[in-house]
């Protein structure tokens, strides 16, 4: 099992129905995680048949290339690269090597001394010197390649922080400060990436530009999405795709969150210079630099939802995938969740019998940091729900799991948490002050107290967050 504290989450003292819901919900979480394992996504999307690299509907003749170089970064990139190396080794005549930036502390399965992939550990979500050094190494690979080489770039969420290469005049320290300010501001990931792309010589299509300006090698990018809508220019800030955002929009984000006077002067200077000179914009659609660039989305949370839905149908749950665009503030979404559940249950209110309903949502909530506590977006959302629902009448059994499938969220060591009727009873019986935990952004301490945080450690997976609500209603 991926969930390390399963026994803590499923104690035998729970009543039969509560225990059953918890076991089904946690098993569904395991199903979701396994559905989007990077190695599985690579194996399903990439094949070598008769000397040709088959990716989705396209074929590339490997005999035309002298070398294959793997580069990239993200939370899923380690397992992506090892799975791909295994496939490419079926074409032993071609030299294949690579350099990948991965998160610090991430365990790498099946990484042996025979691998030609160098794994460089860098920090997330704030970039560090290791990340910068690794990104420069990738640029060297690109610049030293030739037109007869194939470069395969592996991209997943987390790449924005793991692949830093600031524009001239901006230091790594400046970049770190901007990232910290943005992460604490409550800005969406799309807004944060709009800034990141315009401060980088790697992101926002600039890697594609470097390939075109130097080697003109063929560049294939395999992408696992962690963003709502699966917009390729937002995933890891889109190093190899046209940038759909502008310097004007980047300036607008700083203005919206009152960061103009807080960001380093070098950052303001780069953005202001970009505003006044359109030639400095990142490459857009139809730019000549994308002539030999091929981008493929090989995985997203939709696959996890598909397999979770199939699993839950075996337990006679009616499936309602009610949204794939959860983008609200965690505290606000949590407040509204009770009302949403009530609305979804209305059609069953006058139907005698037992009703089992599974509500599924995906996306990525945001947190505006005001306190000094430990927590994450899913935990804050669930705490907000409990704070709002603790005095309401709930005449059904429920389980809610909110999880960052990466395995780690916010500044906590949890992937998320689960709550149910037992959680509400704990709050009321022990008179726990949920509001104070919310105000201090201290949701993880709260769920430690309830013994309902979900612990997996880093999973090496990177797709949108999963919200799973299981309900049993007896009329």
Q: Residue 92 pLDDT > 80, yes or no?
A: no
Helix, strand, coil tally for the chain in percent (to 5): 45, 20, 35
Q: Of 206, 195, 180, which Cα lies nearest the Cα of 124?
A: 180
Structure tokens at 331: 């505290």
- Lookup result for tokens 């509560």: 18
Using 50, 70 and 90 to split pLDDT, how confident is the model at 31? very high
Q: What pLDDT does 242 receive?
A: 97
Residues 77-92 have a mean pLDDT of 90
Q: Which pLDDT belongs to residue 261?
A: 93
CA–CA separation, 415 and 93 (whole Å) = 43
Mean pLDDT of 195-212: 97
Q: Report d(CA 401, CA 452) in Å as an integer.
A: 10
The closest of 32, 34, 38, 44 to 305, measured between CA atoms, is: 32
**Distance (Å, rounded) from C-alpha 393 to C-alpha 421?**
11
CATH superfamily of 38-165+200-245+282-299: Glycerate kinase, MOFRL-like N-terminal domain (3.40.50.10180)
* pLDDT given at position 372: 94
**How far apart, in whole angstroms, are the C-alpha atoms of residue 133 and residue 475?**
62
Q: Report the percent of the chain where pLDDT is more than 70.
A: 100
- How far apart CA 471 and CA 452 sit, in angstroms, is 18
Instruction: Give the pLDDT band of residue 109 (cuts 50, 70, 90).
Output: confident
Look at the domain 6-36+302-474 and name its fold.
glycerate kinase, domain 1 (3.40.1480)
pLDDT digits (tens, 9 = 90+) for 328-368: 999 999 999 999 999 999 999 888 899 999 999 999 999 98
pLDDT at position 228, please?
Answer: 87
Averaged pLDDT, 209-226: 96
Give the count of beta carbons closer than 10 Å to the beta carbon of residue 471. Answer: 23
pLDDT band of 69, cuts 50, 70, 90: very high
> Residue 100 and residue 153: Cα distance in Å, rounded?
9
Q: With left for phi above 0 and alpha for psi between -120 and 50, is residue 238 left, alpha or beta?
A: left
Whole-angstrom Cα distance, residue 131 to residue 101?
A: 7
Number of neighbouring beta carbons within 10 Å of residue 18: 18
pLDDT at residue number 460? 85
DSSP code at position 473: E
Determine the Cα–Cα distance for residues 382 and 29; give it in Å rounded to an integer. Answer: 16
Q: Which of 108-117, 216-225, 250-259, 332-341 has the lowest mean pLDDT?
A: 108-117
Alpha-carbon separation of residue 307 from 111, 158, 169, 278 (angstroms): 28, 24, 48, 46
**pLDDT greater than 90 at residue 418:** yes
Mean pLDDT of 33-53: 95
End-to-end CA distance of the chain: 35
Q: What pLDDT shows up at residue 188?
A: 85
If DSSP codes are grouped into helix, strand and coil, which group holds residue 348? helix
Residue 249, pLDDT score: 97
- Per-residue pLDDT tens digits for 127-153: 999 999 999 999 999 999 999 999 999
Q: Residue 112: pLDDT band by 50, 70, 90 thresholds?
A: confident
Mean pLDDT of 358-386: 96
- Determine which of 224-228, 278-282, 330-334, 458-462 has the lowest per-residue pLDDT on average: 458-462
User: In Å, what is the CA distance from 248 to each residue of 195, 256, 270, 271, 473?
Assistant: 10, 12, 12, 8, 51
Mean pLDDT of the chain: 95
Where along the chain do its domains lie?
6-36+302-474, 38-165+200-245+282-299
pTM for the complete prediction? Answer: 0.88
pLDDT grade, residue 15 (50/70/90)?
Answer: very high
Distance between CA atoms of 189 and 234, rounded to whole angstroms?
8
Provide the token pair at 45: 């999307």
| Residues β-bridged to residue 359 | 320, 469
């Amino acid at each position: 099992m991926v969930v390390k504290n399963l026994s803590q989450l499923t104690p035998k003292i729970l009543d039969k129905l509560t225990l059953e819901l918890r076991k089904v919900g946690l098993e569904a979480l395991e199903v979701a995680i396994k559905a989007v394992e990077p190695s599985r996504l690579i194996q399903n999307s990439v094949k070598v048949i008769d000397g040709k690299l088959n990716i989705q509907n396209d074929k590339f003749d490997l005999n035309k290339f002298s070398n294959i170089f793997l580069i990239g970064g993200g939370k899923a990139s380690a397992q992506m690269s090892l799975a791909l190396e295994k496939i490419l080794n079926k074409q032993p005549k071609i030299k294949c090597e690579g350099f990948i930036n991965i998160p610090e502390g991430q365990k790498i399965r099946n990484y042996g001394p025979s691998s030609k992939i160098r794994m460089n550990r860098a920090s997330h979500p704030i970039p560090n010197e290791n990340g910068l050094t690794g990104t420069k190494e990738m640029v060297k690979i690109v610049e030293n390649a030739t037109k007869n080489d194939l470069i395969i770039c592996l991209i997943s969420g987390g790449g924005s922080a793991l692949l830093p290469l600031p524009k001239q005049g901006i230091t790594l320290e400046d970049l770190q400060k901007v990232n910290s300010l943005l992460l604490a501001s409550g800005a969406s990931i799309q807004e944060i990436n709009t800034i990141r792309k315009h401060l980088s010589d790697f992101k926002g299509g600039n890697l594609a530009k470097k390939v075109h300006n130097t080697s003109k090698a063929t560049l294939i990018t395999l992408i696992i999405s962690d963003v709502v809508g699966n917009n390729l220019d937002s995933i890891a800030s889109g190093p190899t795709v046209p940038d759909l955002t502008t310097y004007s929009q980047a300036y607008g984000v700083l203005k919206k969150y009152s960061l103009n006077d807080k960001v380093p002067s070098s950052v303001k200077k780069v953005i202001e210079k970009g505003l006044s000179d359109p030639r400095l914009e990142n490459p857009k659609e139809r730019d000549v630099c994308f002539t030999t660039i091929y981008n493929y989305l090989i995985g997203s949370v939709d696959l996890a939802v598909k397999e979770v839905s199939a699993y839950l149908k075996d337990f006679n749950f009616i499936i309602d995938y009610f949204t794939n665009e959860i983008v609200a503030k965690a505290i606000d979404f949590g407040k509204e969740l009770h009302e949403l559940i009530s609305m979804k249950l209305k059609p069953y209110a006058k139907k005698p019998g037992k009703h089992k309903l599974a509500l599924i949502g995906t996306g990525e909530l945001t947190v505006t940091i005001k306190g000094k506590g430990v927590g994450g977006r899913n935990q804050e959302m669930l705490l907000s729900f409990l704070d709002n629902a603790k005095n309401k009448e709930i005449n059904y059994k429920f389980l809610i799991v909110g999880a960052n499938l990466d395995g780690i969220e916010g500044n906590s060591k949890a992937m998320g948490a689960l709550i149910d009727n037992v959680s509400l009873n704990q709050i009321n019986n022990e008179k726990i002050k949920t509001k104070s935990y919310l105000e201090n952004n201290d949701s993880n301490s709260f769920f430690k107290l309830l013994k309902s945080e979900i612990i997996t450690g880093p999973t090496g997976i990177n797709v949108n967050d999963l919200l799973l609500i299981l309900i049993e209603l007896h009329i």
